[in-house]
Structure formats: C-alpha cells, structure tokens
C-alpha cells in the first residue's frame, strides 16, 4: 500500500500549484457572489433586503465582495483570506450557533451554518498557503522593480 500511495503522491504533487489556484479562484468568486447577492441582488435576487450602511449585513456584503475578489485574483491573499475567515467565524457564532447545535441542517433541526464553517476554514487554509504560484501576488513578486 505504501508503494501505491508514494507513486500517487509523486504524480499528484506536481499539480498542487494549479489545484491550489483553482481552489482559491472558486472560493473567492463564490464568496464575492454571496456578497454581491446581498448588496446588489446579483447574480440572483437575495431573500433578504440589506439596506445601505446597515450593520452588520451591508458591511458583511462589502467584505465578501472585496475579499472574495482579492482572493480570487490572488492579490493580498493572506490578508483578504484572514479577514474573510474572521467574518465567517463571526457569522457562525453570532447568527447560526445560537439557533441550534448542529450546522448540517437548516432550522429548526439545525442551525444552517455549514456554509459559514466551510468558508471560514477554506479561507483559514489560504491564510497559511497564500495565493500560490498562479496568482497576481506571485506575478508581482517575479516582476523586476523599476528604478525611479
């Protein structure tokens, strides 16, 4: 079994940078889509109307759009992911967890917080992994600095 997993590890590990980028882009765009749904009813209409400047909904939507786009682009990934992860932790413990113990079902049986947990830990992972090789941040690091 060890020989099989060693060979599999060797074959798959060369694709890790590309897979990390796909992971980062998908999670970033999904997060931005949730934020834009809350603030501008796009790509689909939000079930809840969020008034301009209202706390915490409007600010959460703004964080979701900005952090999601930054993460998707791979620009300031660690900082944006840290903020996004924190927002999702706050959302879970302020909104979902007080409703019920289990996050895997919607109320009344559960608290409906599974998506908040998934976003929280996906972004927490990106805090440590960074944007990866295929990101604007990596591209910025490879470009020579211009002299003034």
Report if residue 91 sits inside a domain.
yes
What is the pTM for the complete model shown?
Answer: 0.87
**Closest to 24 measured CA to CA, from 82, 73, 96, 83:** 73
Q: What is the mean pLDDT of residues 118-135?
A: 96
- pLDDT tens, position by position, 81-100: 999 999 999 999 999 999 99
Q: Are 21 and 66 in contact (CB under 8 A)?
A: no
The pLDDT of residue 42 is 81
Cβ atoms within 10 Å of 90's Cβ, excluding its own: 14
Structure token digits, residue 77: 């990934």
Cα–Cα distance for residue pair 108/99, rounded to 1 Å? 8
Report if residue 53 sits inside a domain.
yes
**How far is Cα of residue 116 from the mean position of the Cα atoms in its chain?**
10
pLDDT at 41 over 80: yes
Report if residue 99 sits inside a domain.
yes
Q: What is the mean pLDDT of residues 105-127?
A: 95
Report if residue 148 sits inside a domain.
no
The pLDDT of residue 49 is 79
Report if residue 138 sits inside a domain.
no
Q: What is the mean pLDDT of residues 112-126?
A: 97
Report if residue 55 sits inside a domain.
yes
Mean pLDDT score of the chain: 91
Report if residue 15 sits inside a domain.
no
- pLDDT tens, position by position, 65-75: 999 999 999 99
Which domain range does residue 101 map to?
Answer: 20-132
Number of domains in the chain: 1
Q: Give the residue, 2 or 137, on which the prediction is more confident.
A: 137
* 133 phi, psi to nearest 5 deg: -70, -30
Q: Give the residue, 2 or 118, on which the prediction is more confident.
A: 118
Report if residue 147 sits inside a domain.
no
- 39-47: long-range contacts (C-beta < 8 A, 24 or more apart)? 39/65
Cα–Cα distance for residue pair 40/48, rounded to 1 Å? 11
Q: Give the residue, 147 or 25, on which the prediction is more confident.
A: 25
pLDDT at 143 over 80: no
- pLDDT tens, position by position, 10-27: 888 999 999 999 999 999
């Amino acid at each position: 079994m060890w020989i099989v997993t060693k060979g599999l590890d060797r074959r798959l590990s060369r694709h890790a940078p590309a897979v990390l980028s796909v992971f980062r882009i998908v999670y970033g765009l999904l997060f931005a889509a949730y934020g834009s749904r809350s603030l501008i009813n796009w790509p689909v209409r939000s079930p809840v109307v969020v008034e301009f400047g209202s706390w915490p909904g409007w600010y959460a939507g703004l964080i979701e759009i900005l952090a999601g786009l930054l993460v998707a682009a791979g620009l300031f990934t660690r900082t944006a992911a840290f903020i996004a992860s924190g927002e999702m932790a706050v959302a879970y413990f302020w909104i979902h967890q007080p409703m019920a113990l289990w996050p895997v079902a919607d109320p009344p049986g559960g608290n409906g917080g599974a998506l908040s947990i998934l976003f929280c830990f996906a972004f927490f992972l990106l805090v440590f992994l960074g944007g990866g090789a295929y990101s604007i941040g990596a591209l910025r690091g490879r470009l020579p600095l211009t002299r003034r």
